[in-house]
Amino acid sequence: MAVTLPTVYSPKEIEERWSRWWLERKFFHTAPDSREPFTIVIPPPNITGALHMGHGLNNTYQDILTRWRRMEGYNTLWLPGTDHAGIATQNVVEKELAKEGLTRQAVGREEFVRRVWRWKEEYGGTIVDQLKRMGCSSDWDRERFTLDEGLSRAVREVFVRLFEEGLIYRGQYIVNWCPRCGTALSDDEVEHDEKQGSLWYVKYPIKGGGGHVTVATTRPETMLGDTAVAVNPGDARYRDVLGKTLVLPVIGREMPIIADEFVDLRFGTGAVKVTPAHDPNDFEIARRHGLPLVVVIGADGKMTEEAGEYRGLDRFECRKRLVKRLEAEGLIEKVEPYTHSVGHCYRCETAIEPYVSDQWFVRMKELAAPAIEAANEGRVHFHPERWKRVFLSWLENVRDWCISRQLWWGHRIPAWYCDACGEVFAARTDPAACPKCGSKKIRQDEDVLDTWFSSALWPFSTLGWPDETKDLEYYYPTDVLVTDRGIIFFWVARMVMMGLKFRGEVPFDDVYINATVLDQDGRKMSKSLGNGIDPIDIIGQYGADAMRFSLVLLTAEGQDVKLSPTRFEMGRNFANKLWNAARFALMNLEDAKDLPALKPEDLAFEDRWILGETSRAIEELTAALEGYHFHAAGHVVYRYAWNSLCDWYLEAIKGRLYGARPADKRVAQKVLASALDALLRMLHPFAPFITEELWQHLNELVPERGVFAARRAEESVVRAAWPKSTWFPRDAEAEGAMPLATDLVRAVRNIRSKLGLGERTEVDAIVTGENAGALEVIRRHEHFIKDLGRVKNLTAGTGLSKPPACASEVVSGLDVYVPLAGLIDVGEEKARLSARIEKVEKGLKGAEAKLSNASFVERAPAEIVERERERRAELAAEVDKLRSNLADLGR
Ligand SMILES: [Zn+2]
Ligand SMILES: [Zn+2]
């Protein structure tokens, strides 16, 4: 049978072909059965998104776990899907409308939502296609969407139940408002930056004369909405003015000076303006003191009617003009530079405006308590463990969650208002009349729910809840969640709360928090910086396998990973090495069908060793995966493939494969096929495509594998059994002897390269020293050492003398001598080395002279001086090495 493996590895063709076949054969599809389940739900990417390297890493890990557990025999479900991404998607479609000169208000709610759905159908699948290209083995027949019918039912059920239990309420509160997006945001959706601003000291005159009180503010425009000035009750500076009335400049509003414990004596002048409608703390002060609310900044970020002459102006423009006027009137006492934290919308980066409005909230304290308990009792584990603290501290300090969004794209809040009797009620199906008074004059709330409200239900809503389905019973709770630290609050914590509330069980046993992907300078990859690496580009250039395996190898556990496109060469080089090695192996397995099973005594030293290495690699790899140590796991496979199998074993058996003794050849073939089989199984979760390609070729040539007993190979490596360490015998003698044997081979190779001899030049070697045991090992495995070290005569014994002209090395306390007689003309080599030493020393002296010249060191550019220093060090090292080589040649 001829081997059809092309000489060059071309991932594109391979990956497309196997991807198609896997999907056709529905290898990733699963349904409940008698096996034990293993379940992962994907963190649903936004439909607006394209795959970025963070997804690349996150989904590689999920696929490794999925493929590995599938091979282990679990009924494995990796449930895929996407998120409707309220604000983000609405923004995209609004931008499209703007191109047509339209707004969403102009087209109306129904038409707008229809257009978003159309956009979703057309573009929303991009990221799913990209995940498929990466090789993600999700059950694509089960793909879900947070706005699909089933999930919408789950959302509605949860809302109504929480409403009925009083855990959802509506109220007027100060919320984080994005004037650009025109919606409220939850506390976690606000990103805070330190900004260099100013602190204005503004004088408020006391009514009826008698001076003024000065207040300090970073946002002068909000003063138009002031309804009081507050001081700390213990502040002696203001004892006399307490209870007096102030007149608000520009507006002329009269307002009291009040005392409140909340006021910090050390901030500004100790007297603070109170703007209840535009500051969350002032809102609370106003509640305590019964102060009125005056809204001066509207939902659009522009000044309202209440702002008098500034009405209609943008808030920042108003600030400029107002400050000018106050200055002209002598009401600005001073201005100080001031660094303070400014909140920004996480979607559009517009400065957040605290805004008073009617919103819906979830009471979090009651829901958080069981989640805290679950983490403390170890029912949900974090990897790395430090993230448990982050999770707990958020839950312990959790505030009520604002869940209403003033958007059109999302789950519309299932709450109605009765205009006849004022009843507010929630309903599972759209009501026709008010349940209290029967009036038909009812209207539904206009807002939609925060996107995270639906994703909080993801682990059970995707399995059929609120129905008690077979899937739900079988696959829930899921086993592990692999996600990003950025959404521990947004998502992980809320899923734990909702899972406990509605299923009585945590949604997953383990949470693996993956590293953050940074650029080569350690900055976060972002669209605005333009420093991202597109996974699709990397797949196009190196292949999906190379991308996946590089990510695993480069990402050290618990650390963020710095990436540049060239770093993916690591995975590409590995794939090439594997390809070439497998090609060599397959060419030598063409006549290896139906080889008889082996007996232990048939095995050569290197066979016993590689089988033991295989067993050990399987054991280490499995343990690493069980502990979510992906980096360690990747390196086990890498070392096994590259060092053990390619560099040593394949080299060691070449003689037998090419040799004249068929019996020896057959043993080598049998062991080789088994080792390659094990490698493909071990590597498959990391590099699914290349392993499938090689698996199929191996299946053609050697369908029966196994060393001592025949094992029929599975039709696809996707469905192959995970290898067991007990499939392969361990051999203590080979394991103990191999390090010495390979060290000795390396020593002889070093000498050869030191002498400038070709790799194929045969040499003699003498090994001597006190360690009789080690010398015995060397004699026993003389054949291996001679073969790989290209040693013609190997002499090993105690007390052997050093030949007159020889090169030497030391291995495990033993001296290794390679006599030079017959290899090189010693006299000529000595002359060559001496001449070379003279020349290099001359250069060294020149560099030293330059560097001892003060004017050069002081005047030349720093990098030139540095280069000269490096040159001096290099030349000095070369002289040392040449001298030592010369000394080896003897007197
Ligand atoms: Zn925004
Ligand atoms: Zn009513």
pLDDT digits (tens, 9 = 90+) for 433-451: 999 999 999 999 999 999 9
Would the pLDDT of 192 be above 90?
no
Model pLDDT, residue 884: 81
The alpha carbon of 433 and the centre of ligand 2 are apart by a number of angstroms equal to 8
Ligand in nearest proximity to the CA of 438: 2
Residues near ion ligand 1 (CB < 5 Å) are 178, 180-181, 345, 347-348, 350
CA 178 to ligand 1 center in whole angstroms: 5
Element (H, E) at 616: helix 605-626
Closest CA to 735 of 656, 798, 647, 644: 644
What b/e string do you get for 210-245 counting C-beta neighbours within 10 Å, with b at 16 or more?
A: eebbbbbbebbbbbbbbbbbbbbeeeeebeebeebe
Q: Tell me which ligand sits closest to the C-alpha of residue 351.
A: 1
SS (H, E, C) 216-270: EECCHHHHHHCCEEEECCCCHHHCCCCCCEEECCCCCCEEEEEECCCCCCCCCCC
Distance 417 CA to ligand 2 centre (A): 8
Q: Which ligand is nearest to the CA of 443?
A: 2
CA of 435 to the centre of ligand 2 (A): 7
Residue 337 CA to ligand 1 center (angstroms) comes to 27
Give the Å distance between the CA of 395 and the centre of ligand 1: 26
**Rounded to the nearest whole angstrom, what is the distance from the C-alpha of residue 349 to the centroid of ligand 1?**
6
Mean pLDDT across the chain = 92
Per residue in 742-788, pLDDT tens?
A: 999 999 998 898 888 888 899 999 999 999 999 999 999 999 999 99
pLDDT digits (tens, 9 = 90+) for 690-743: 999 999 999 999 999 888 988 899 999 999 999 999 999 999 999 999 999 999
Instruction: Report CA(347)–ligand 1 centroid distance (Å).
Output: 5
User: Which residues in 658-671 are b (16+ Cβ under 10 Å) and which e?
Assistant: eeeeeebbbbbbbb
Mean pLDDT of the 192-214 span:
90
| Residue 809, φ and ψ in degrees, nearest 5 | -145, 165
Report the pLDDT value the prediction gives residue 891, as an integer from 0 to 100: 63
Amino acid code (one letter) for 516: T
| Separation of alpha carbons 849 and 872, rounded Å | 10
pLDDT (mean) for 65-69: 98
pLDDT of residue 2: 54
Is residue 112 predicted with pLDDT exceeding 50?
A: yes
As a dihedral over the C-alpha atoms of residue 811, residue 815, residue 821, residue 822, rounded to 10 degrees, the angle is -30
Closest listed residue to residue 466, CA positions, set 168, 169, 75, 159:
159
Ligand nearest to the CA of 422: 2
Distance in Å, CA 443 to ligand 2 centroid: 11
Asked if 575 contacts 550 with a C-beta cutoff of 8 angstroms, the reply is: no
Dist. CA 646–CA 669, nearest whole Å: 15
Q: How remote is the CA of residue 414 from the centroid of ligand 2, in Å?
A: 16
Distance (Å) from CA 438 to ligand 2 centroid: 6
Per the model's pLDDT, the better-predicted residue between 244 and 826 turns out to be: 244
- What pLDDT does 400 receive? 87
**Which is nearest to 470 in space by CA: 80, 83, 34, 67?**
34
Find the 151 Cα to ligand 2 centroid distance in Å.
30
**Which ligand is closest in space to the CA of residue 439?**
2
Interval 91-102: pLDDT, tens: 889 888 989 999
What local confidence, expressed as pLDDT, does residue 1 receive? 47
| Nearest ligand to the CA atom of 184 | 1
Conformational region of residue 512, where left means phi above 0, alpha means psi within -120 to 50, and beta covers everything else? beta
Total Cβ atoms within 10 A of residue 806: 22
- Which of 294-298, 346-350, 368-372 tops mean pLDDT? 368-372
pLDDT at 186 over 80: no
Say how many Å lie between the CA of residue 431 and the centre of ligand 2.
12
pLDDT at 858: 87
More confident residue, 400 or 460: 460
User: Given a cut of 80, is residue 890 above it in pLDDT?
Assistant: no
Strands 144-145 and 81-82: parallel
- Region 564-586: mean pLDDT is 95
- Retrieve residue 608's tokens: 């016993």
Distance 614 CA to ligand 1 centre (A): 55
Minimum-distance ligand to the CA of 436?
Answer: 2
Asked if residue 880 has pLDDT above 90, the reply is: no
pLDDT at 3: 57
User: Model pTM?
Assistant: 0.83
Percent share of the chain, pLDDT over 90: 70
Q: Which residues of 848-885 are buried (b: 16+ CB within 10 A; e: fewer)?
A: eebeeeeeeeeeeeeeebeebeebbeebeebbeebeeb
Tell me, what amino acid is at 457? L
C-alpha 342 to ligand 1 mean position (Å): 14
Residue 806: pLDDT band with limits 50, 70, 90 = confident
DSSP letters for 193-209: EEEEEEEEEEEEEBTTS
More confident residue, 437 or 812: 437
Gap from CA of 357 to ligand 1 centroid (Å) = 17
Distance (Å) from CA 345 to ligand 1 centroid: 5
* Alpha-carbon dihedral 498, 500, 501, 503, rounded to 10 degrees: 100
